Chains A and B, each alone.
Chain A
Amino acid sequence: MPLFPREKRSSRIFIALIVFHLVLLSFQVPLGTEPTFVEKSVFAVLTPIQHGVVAVVRFLGRLWRTYFYFHHVQLQNQDMRREIYYLRQENALLRHSLERFQAKEGLRLFFLQTQRSIHVASVISLDPVNYKKAMIIDQGRLAGLAKNMVVLDGAGHLVGRIIEPLSLAEATVQLISDESSGVGVVIQGNKGAGVLAGEGSGLCQLKYILSTAEGISVGDEVLTSGYDRIYPPGLPVGTIISVGRDSALFKTIVVRPFFDFNKLDLVAVIVPPEEAPASRRPGP
């Protein structure tokens, strides 16, 4: 049956769109997850819109709470919660560093470092395809954020790291539960070191633990090892929920991350000391 001119035009445009996508894919596939110029450009245009939406919603929510509720108590409460957030972060980092660094000098230096290296950011969007893979936060290059900076939740648990695309006021965070993520970890009590990779379902797999390794059991805590040179050592990552042996060489270990996907409203980005401005931490 012959096509009408209008249908012909539609088919041609549709084929052109398909070819456009195939060209895009052919550029992207060799790069893997590294963003192309097109992706960076779209990111730079889109995220300010999301940032704006979240800012308006936050503003309206604040308006409601502040002017129709207990104005003074609310502000005080907000300050205290922010302070508690910082204290928790600092406490968690110090507690885990204490276990690792016994030397007084090392501890003093670490304390000085953590005091000014935490940068709080709000989550503005989650990955629309699988929210357990990535998220976007409302801080970017202007705030001193850079690729591979480590992201923690409110209790100091490891969430992920900053990846590209990274714009002036927004950044993408790859969660440790993403399949392409890899974190160097150790099992508490020096029971073994391996690589933690996400499953995409919210759980992670602890790889390369030899079948001969002993003493590993459900409930053991997993910490960052620092061997990957991205994540500092001693950060709490998750708990082992199952230990199996399906190959001759390695154990199959499943880890549940400590952070809660549904409570990722605020996150803390660790800014290395050489990149951190003099003071990021609010006064008491």
Chain B
Amino acid sequence: MRDAVRAAAGIAVALALHSLLSRTVSSWTPLFHVFLLVVLFAAQLRGELFGAVMGTFSGLVVDTLSLGVFGIAGLSMTIIGYLAGAVAKRINVLSFFRNFLFLFIMTALEFILWSLLAILLVGQPLAGARSLLARPLVTALVGAVLFSTYRRIQKRHGK
């Protein structure tokens, strides 16, 4: 029950953030994948199963808000959510640099997977190399900063 509330809260926060970004700095919207960041956070904190479930729901949200075939983002984010949880369980990704690298690789992998699925299913060409690099870079940087802040707050509260 608690996990369901956490998942719903995570997606609601991502949705609110996406709406705010859309209205304020629209050109940053494609560079900062807020929904994927929520999935990666969930996977790091609660493991691969929670990551996969969060990936499914966040992916459905992304699919609904974007044009194209419904389900592509859902599938790619579910796989990445599971993979991120499994990796975070086996490798220590808590330090800032490691966390940045982990988020960068996962975001890049999701983008590649999404693009491959898009090509396979609808014949859409891959987006430019700029977004291939820029999105994981920005998302990983913001994510690493947020995660280290979260860990600091947790430490301060003795958790």
Contacts and interface: CB of A to CB of B under 8 A. Distances in A.
Contacts of A24: 70-71, 74
B7 interface: no
A60 to B, nearest CB: 11
Nearest to B31: A131
A3 B16 CA distance: 39
A134 B23 contact: no
Contacts of A127: 29, 65-67
Interface in B72-104: 72-75, 78-79, 82
Interface string A163-186: 001000000101000111000000
Contacts of B128: 201
Contacts of A200: 124, 127
B60 A42 contact: yes
B69 interface: yes
A22 B66 contact: no
Interface string B34-60: 110000000000011100110110011
A17 to B, nearest CB: 5
A125 B19 contact: yes
B5 interface: no
Interface string A47-80: 0011001100100000000000000000000000
Interface residues of A, number: 52
Interface string A131-153: 10111100000000000000000
B26 A13 contact: no
Contacts of A20: 56
B15 A50 contact: yes
Interface residues of B, number: 48
B26 A46 contact: no
A9 B47 CA distance: 13
Contacts of B53: 13, 17
Interface of B: 12, 15-16, 18-20, 22-23, 26-27, 29-30, 33-35, 47-49, 52-53, 55-56, 59-75, 78-79, 82, 114, 121-122, 124, 127-128
8 contacts: A9-B49, A14-B48, A14-B52, A29-B69, A42-B60, A53-B16, A126-B26, A131-B26
Interface of A: 9-10, 13-14, 17-18, 20-22, 24-25, 28-29, 32-33, 35-36, 38-39, 42-43, 46, 49-50, 53-54, 57, 123-131, 133-136, 165, 172, 174, 178-180, 200-201, 261-262, 264-265
What are the 10 tightest A-B residue pairs by CB atom distance, in nearest-first order?
A: A24-B71, A21-B75, A25-B71, A126-B22, A129-B66, A42-B64, A127-B66, A10-B49, A28-B70, A131-B29
